[in-house]
């Protein structure tokens, strides 16, 4: 009998030919991603790797698949689902949601800036489709092999995929979803059999990609606003990286493609040049600042990060409004003028997502500079030990972003940074944040309230 050489095993059995390989021992095939629930989309449709599945020869599979993708002049694109492509919620849909037209999959109806399309899933949820979703998927599918990576469960992800892409036209790369035994606090490219130097990621959450932040393109978190156009803007960024990858002069003498992570780093504008950031309440104590994804992204965009306030500090970014560090910053403003700006975390995330320096007026904290005390902001809880609390007060941040106009001056920013990245377009009006719980998926992360946060 010919020896089995297929790649996927479930409980020791080959899923292709049924060969029993349990006696051989396949420890070399185990990885932290065993049981990851990976699903591949092929010509025959959706085929899931159930919990307990192992992939043999994973590196060889990734190399072979990369050659196929390269021959098609494509790259890999991994998309988050909730608040990146859709917004799912239970209960009565918003007044500006209209049913999708009854054509297979997503139709060609253009967003009108006043309504968003709505679909119902078999899980009993209402799913709002982000404006320009079809145009984005159609454009990206010509340049990338697209995979979906969600912290929602398999059933939820399948239900949404069946509604937005029933013929597997766009998500040909597969589905990676959460299942029991996996954390919701991080995502890893190791769960997807592909070459990391060919992958770009679009997600509204930064901190879950700690190991692969160089591949991340942050997008504004979408909560259902009909005027959003973030998919159009990020599509331009992705297309630019793809074009640079396949430019004749980009190839090495060996003919190898350049690393897309390096191309992405060169494509990002350095709009934070001259900015020095300090933080209050964003990160756990004892973790080096430059290990934080947000700080790495800030540095990639030309900025600097410090643990403490100093005369060099241009911006203090905070998550909760009443801290000693905010009071010290307010006293510094009284002594030194406009610096440092004291800004909600949403401002920083919006800048990183939109690749430009945004005005600060509507995202600045209203501080009594005479006393250095910050007034209590309505609806904001003062929970010092909540590492993923950016969803808290989301409506507030969303409202503030809707008031931002990028043609205004970014007050308090250094002159070198002020002139960069504030032209053209409107920022996405959605709440920007490293999301915690999702509608349609259980809360991500541990949710433990005992982590000591920086002041």
For residue 2, what pLDDT is reported? 64
For residue 208, what pLDDT is reported? 93
Q: Which residues of the chain have pLDDT under 70?
A: 1-2, 5-60, 91-95, 97, 99-115, 118, 120-124, 180-182, 367-455
In a shared domain, residues 22 and 96:
no
Helix/strand/coil (H/E/C) assignment for every residue in the chain: CCCCCCCEEECCEECCCCCECCCCCCHHHCCCCCCCCEEEEECCEEEECCCCEEECCHHHHHHHHHHHHHHCCCEEEEECCECCCEEEECCCCCCCEEECCCCCCCCCCCCCCCCEEEEECCCCCEEEECCCHHHHHHHHHCCEEEEEEEEEEHHHHHHHHHHHCCCCCCCCCEEEEECCCCCCCCCCHHHCCCCHHHEEEEECCCHHHHHHHHHEEECCCCCCCCCCCHHHHHHHHHHHHHHHHCCHHHCCCCCCCCCHHHHHHHHCCCCCCCCEEEEECCCECCCCHHHCHHHHHHHHCCCEECCCCCCCCCEEEECCCCCHHHHHHHHHHHHHCCCCEEEEHHHHHHHHHHCCCCCCHHHECCCECCCCECCCCCCCCCCCCCCCCCCCCHHHHHHHHHCCCCCCCCCCCCHHHHCCCCCCCCCCCCCCCCCCCECCECCCCCCCCCCCECC
In a shared domain, residues 207 and 295:
no
In a shared domain, residues 330 and 312:
yes
0.85 exceeded by pTM: no
Residue ending a domain, among 265, 293, 316, is 265
For residue 201, what pLDDT is reported? 98
Range of the domain at 378: 269-418
Residue 359 sits in a domain whose CATH number is 3.40.50.10190
In a shared domain, residues 350 and 239:
no
Residue ending a domain, among 265, 298, 323, is 265
In a shared domain, residues 316 and 282:
yes
Residue 321 covered by a domain = yes
In a shared domain, residues 232 and 277:
no
In a shared domain, residues 249 and 294:
no
Residue 449 covered by a domain = no
Residue 149 covered by a domain = yes
Instruction: Give how many domains the chain has, as a whole number.
Output: 3
In a shared domain, residues 235 and 119:
yes
For residue 349, what pLDDT is reported? 92
Residue ending a domain, among 265, 300, 319, is 265
Residue 69 sits in a domain whose CATH number is 3.40.50.1000
Residue 165 covered by a domain = yes
In a shared domain, residues 223 and 370:
no
Residue 195 covered by a domain = yes
Residue 450 covered by a domain = no
Residue 75 covered by a domain = yes
Residue 439 covered by a domain = no
In a shared domain, residues 223 and 146:
yes
In a shared domain, residues 112 and 254:
yes
The 53-55 sheet, strands edge to edge: 13-14, 8-10, 53-55
In a shared domain, residues 233 and 344:
no
């Amino acid at each position: 009998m010919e020896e089995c050489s297929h790649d996927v095993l479930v409980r020791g059995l080959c899923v292709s030919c049924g060969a029993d390989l349990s006696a051989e021992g396949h420890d070399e095939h185990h990885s932290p991603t065993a049981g990851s629930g990976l699903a591949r989309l092929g010509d025959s449709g959706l085929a899931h790797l159930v919990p307990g599945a192992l992939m043999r020869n994973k590196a060889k599979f990734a190399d072979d698949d990369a050659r196929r993708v390269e021959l098609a002049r494509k790259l890999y694109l991994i998309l988050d689902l909730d608040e990146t492509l859709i917004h799912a919620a239970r209960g009565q849909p918003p007044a500006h949601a209209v049913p999708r037209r009854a054509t297979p999959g997503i139709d060609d109806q253009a967003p009108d800036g006043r309504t968003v399309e709505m679909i119902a899933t078999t899980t009993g949820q209402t799913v709002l489709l982000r404006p320009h979703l079809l145009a984005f998927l159609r454009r990206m599918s010509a340049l990338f092999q697209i995979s979906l990576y969600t912290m929602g469960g398999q059933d939820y992800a399948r239900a949404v995929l069946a509604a937005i892409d029933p013929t597997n036209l766009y998500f040909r790369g597969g589905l990676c979803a959460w299942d029991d035994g996996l954390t919701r606090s991080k995502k890893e490219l190791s769960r997807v059999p592909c070459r990391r130097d060919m992958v770009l990621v679009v997600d509204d959450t930064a901190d879950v990609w700690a190991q692969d932040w160089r591949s991340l393109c942050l997008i504004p978190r979408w909560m259902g606003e009909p005027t959003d156009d973030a998919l159009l803007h990020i599509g331009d960024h992705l297309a630019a990286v793809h074009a640079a990858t396949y430019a004749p002069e980009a190839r090495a003498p060996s003919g190898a493609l350049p690393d897309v992570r390096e191309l992405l780093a060169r494509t990002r504008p350095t709009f934070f040049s001259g900015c020095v950031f300090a933080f209050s309440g964003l990160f756990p104590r004892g973790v080096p600042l430059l290990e934080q994804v947000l700080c790495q992204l800030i540095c990639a965009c030309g900025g600097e990060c410090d643990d403490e306030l100093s005369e060099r500090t241009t911006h203090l970014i905070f998550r909760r409004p009443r801290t000693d560090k905010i009071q010290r910053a307010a006293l510094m403003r009284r002594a030194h003028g406009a610096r440092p700006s004291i800004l909600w975390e949403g401002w920083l995330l919006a800048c990183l997502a939109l690749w430009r320096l945004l005005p600060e007026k509507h995202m600045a904290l209203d501080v009594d500079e005479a006393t250095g005390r910050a007034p209590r902001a309505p609806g904001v809880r003062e929970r010092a030990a909540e590492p993923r609390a950016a969803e808290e007060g989301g409506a507030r941040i969303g409202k503030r972003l809707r008031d931002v106009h990028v043609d205004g001056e970014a007050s308090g920013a250094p002159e070198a940074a002020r002139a960069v990245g504030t032209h053209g377009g409107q920022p996405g009006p959605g709440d920007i944040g490293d999301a915690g719980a999702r509608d349609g998926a259980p809360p991500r992360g541990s949710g433990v309230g005992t982590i000591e946060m920086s002041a």
